[in-house]
Amino acid sequence: MLDLTGKVAVVIGAASGIGRAIAISLAAQGATVDCGDIDTAGVEETAATIVAAGGTAKATTTDVRLSADVDTLLTGVAAEHGRLDIAVGTPGINIRKPLIDYTDDEYTAVTDVNLRGSFNVLRGAGRIMAVQGSGSIIVISSISSRAVEPGQVIYAGTKAALAQMVRVFGAELGPMGVRVNAIAPGPVETALTVPIRSSSAWADAYSEKVALRRWAKPAEIAGPAVFLASDAASYVNGEVLFVDGGWVDLDANFADEKAVETDTDASA
């Protein structure tokens, strides 16, 4: 059910990290993958890696913030292959600082990639797939859509908004045979998290928040993406799949335990 032979996929954000891992994994399951990213050298390397492994892939320089770039890539792929079965959008940035210290330019930088970029992928792929009557769209949310961490107000806001966009858009496109879902990763070893992982104290602190007591590899996020893209997830729509090693559940359980302790103390 995970076989993607004959499927046509676009992965925007494929130059590195989670996007690169997803592109390679989709191709390994048989999909033809068009890789898009603003990083030309990186996305060409990803496509070359896929081809060297026996897969089929192309690379296109694409700025996810520009709807014209995204639409050109998606419609071009659909025109070339006669269909678009899978569309994945992974780009994301974060500027960690208290909200009161944020500048207008920093706010725009984060929201343009995380929110506008994902909107461009959702809308562009949705328009194509709604007409053809099938398809799977996947974007990347985050545990920050639910977990609270100071210094993450804008990033968390974009990821929470994206989670709700997926739920609503899934409801809109579901009757047309199109599925829309998001993956919410926990801490992953990518370029985005280098500032945290460069400090062993910070890296260890994040590991301790995870039930599995470690960071994820990008490939561990790619597996769930393959699932959501495949027929194995044919009845999964409008969902946010948390792939966080148990971070959010552990947070919730801790909060519940503290609440019980407080109630007990109060009743005594």
Residue 155 token pair = 């990033």
111 to 43, 64, 141, 166, 231: CA distances (angstroms): 23, 12, 13, 16, 32
Selecting among 107, 155, 206, 235, the annotated active-site residue is 155
The full length of the chain comes to 268
Catalytic residue status for 155? yes
Give the sign of the dihedral formed by CA 41, CA 45, CA 82, CA 123: negative
- Return the structure tokens found at 57: 């892939």
> Which residues have a catalytic role annotated?
155
